Structure 1
Amino acid sequence: MKSEKASLVIVSIMLLFVILFGLNRFNFDAREKVIEIKEYQGERLDSVYDFRENSILGPQEINVTDYRLRVSGLVETPLEYTYEEVLEDFSSKRKVIRLSCVEGWSAKVLWEGVSIKDLVEAAEPSEDAKIIIFHAEDGYTTSLHLDYIKERDIMLAYKINEVTLPKENGFPFQLVAESKWGYKWCRWVVELEFSDDTDYEGFWESRGYSNDADLDKSFWGK
């Protein structure tokens, strides 16, 4: 009897460990496997499966046929693009960049996408526009300063390790906010809104996270 109770306790502890520390990763690995590159120009890459699921409403299902990327706000020319138009109308770029999450994990992969600078030029923002607010399909928002976007040539990615973004990684587009904490890396992007509100606070920023989100500084606090 004591042996059975001890075994039950051990099993319960193991189950609790899985729930607390491994469930997200196990669910992620249950996806259909993709064929990704593991190295780029001599640099070792992490896997698409090294990203943990921590979105506010879970991975979003987006119908690419109905999808539109909207460019709105303080612009001369509000625009709307299909997924294919973004890929065909704008030149692509690729770069190995590490995403660092405030949860303590990180992943270094090859991103491929379009330069947001090109979208900015096409929309012709007014002189009053200082930031871009990124809107996601699930209602998530965050913002970045226009100067930062232009200086760092920030991209909207549609591929990761030469694989089309899986839905868990933000299909159709993920913001690659280089040198910023992971909560700035908006997934399932559906709208770029130009604004003059430099104090705008997105989902996590309105809950106490830093609006700057620089990796060399704490993510907590204004």
Structure 2
Amino acid sequence: MPFLKQKDPTVPPGQTVTDGFPVLHVGDVPPIDPKTWRLRVFGAVENPFELTWDELRAMPASEYRGDIHCVTRWTKKNTYWVGVKFSEIVARAKPLAEAKYVIQHADNDYTTNLPLAVMLDDDVLVAYEFDGQPVEPIHGGPVRMLVPKKYFWKSAKWLHGLEFKDRDEKGFWEVRGYNNDADPWKEERYADLPAWFG
């Protein structure tokens, strides 16, 4: 009987581990000056506000050590990120009772959407460091979202806005046929598309 290679139980189905960090994004890498960068927090909240780079860095820092997964079938193991927990942003913004969803706004007119309950996971960061260094522009620096339990398109590069809403609003890839939930362990890569799509 031929030897059967055991599947790594720590890697979601359909994924291949990479030692690199593939670069994938919409549009060109935007030139962002941390001195003029702002993170706008708005929508269905009691306390809308903006953060400068220095104000974000002055907030309590948290770490994420773990894996990230891209819909294009790569997984990068044991990554190390530093940033501000999304829950810290929420505590300051004080979402209204009707706020059930969060829309991430980024450069190149990019958006992506997730339920507020998902974004409140303890490992979700507004990240500014990767592997002990500032997040490189090609990987979304100076500031990107990190939602490691979802495929990586749900972690917007070049983040500049967090909008709280009472209803879901599909983002750039979601309206183009990507799955709205994006769970790597369920292989939620693409939506069930109508016959006329594409």
Larger Rg, first or second structure (1 or 2):
1
Structure 1 residue 60: Cα displacement: 1.8
1:90-117 per-residue CA deviation (whole Å, 9 max, x = no partner) reads 2111121222112122223101110010
Q: State the aligned residue count.
A: 173
Name the CA distance, whole Å, in 1 between partners of 2:123 and 2:150: 13
Quote the residue 1:103 is aligned against. 72
* Residue 119 of structure 1, aligned match among 89, 104, 107: 89
More strand by share: 2
Give the drift of 1:148: 1.4
Is contact 1:72–1:78 with CA below 8 Å preserved after alignment? Answer: yes
Q: How far, CA to CA, are the matches of 1:96 and 1:138 in structure 2?
A: 28
Moved over 4 A (4+): none
Corresponding residue to 1:158 among 128, 148, 172: 128
CA displacement at 1:216 relative to structure 2: 1.4
Q: Secondary structure at the match of 2:117?
A: helix
Q: Which amino acid aligns with 1:152?
A: D
Contact map agreement 2:38 2:52 (CA 8 A) in 1? yes
Counterpart contact for 1:74–1:125, Cα < 8 Å = yes
Residue 129 of structure 1 aligns with an amino acid whose one-letter code is A
Greater RCO (Cα-Cα under 8 Å, separation 6 or more): 2
Q: What's the counterpart of residue 214 of structure 1?
A: 183
Q: CA deviation at 1:136?
A: 0.5
Three-state SS of the structure 2 residue aligned to 1:121 is helix
Instruction: Give 3-state SS (helix, strand or coil) of 2:185's partner.
Output: coil
1: distance between equivalents of 2:55 and 2:35? 12
- Percentage of matched positions with identical amino acids: 33
Give the superposed CA RMSD: 1.4
- The secondary structure found in structure 2 opposite 1:151 is coil
Q: Which runs of 5+ in 1 are unaligned?
A: 1-45
> For structure 2, which runs of at least 5 residues remain unmatched after alignment?
1-17, 193-198
